Amino acid sequence: MATYEGNFTPPPGRFVLVAARFNQAVVERLVEGARDGLRRHGVAEDAIDGVWVPGSFEIPLVAQRLARTGKYAAVICLGAVIKGDTDHYDYVAGGAVNGIAQAALTTGVPVILGVLTCDTLEQAINRAGAKAGNKGFDAALTAIEMVNLLRRLPE
């Protein structure tokens, strides 16, 4: 029986971060975490592109468009949806999360979910590097692992 796994060696190809400007102070930390995660696993700085979108709801369209170009090994989506800020939290968070999944499934390119969905700003800050790790860093590692896994899977 064959077992397939992705490792964390730097894969060939480029990465792109799609980051939402809403709650920008938090998302900037996610972006830094993701860049740090990629760099520390051997991805060259000049192989990392970045795109800013207005809010997390806008991430999927741009992520799908970038994935379709064939230019990127993976697309890393970063945002922070915070319940305290909005009545339509469920719609924004659900739209972002489902849309990111759709972008991956419709393109076959790993489109990685690094969007925080939190009750409070404090939780978001903690998950963006203050206390509970950095979700951007985690998303970068997931991207590398998925790229390497897909390269190994049979066609």
Q: Build a one-symbol-per-residue string for 7-36: x at contacts with ligand INI by CB under 6 A, - elsewhere.
A: -------------x-xx-------------
6 is a contact residue toward ligand INI (CB under 6 A):
no
Backbone phi, then psi, for 91, in 5-degree steps? -75, -45
Q: In the complex with ligand INI, which residue's Cβ is closer, 75 or 82?
A: 82
Q: Which token pair is 54? A: 């207005």
Q: Return the DSSP state at 120.
A: S
Answer for which of 55, 65, 138, 149 binds ligand INI (CB under 6 A) is 55
Q: At what angle do helices 59-68 and 89-107 cross, to 10 degrees?
A: 10
145 is a contact residue toward ligand INI (CB under 6 A):
no
User: In the β-sheet with 48-53, what is the strand arrangement from edge to edge?
Assistant: 48-53, 14-20, 72-82, 111-118
Q: In the complex with ligand INI, which residue's Cβ is closer, 34 or 92?
A: 92
Residue 96 CA to residue 103 CA, distance in Å, equals 10
88 is catalytic: yes
Q: Write out the residues near ligand INI by the rule CB under 6 A.
A: 20, 22-23, 54-58, 79-82, 85-86, 92
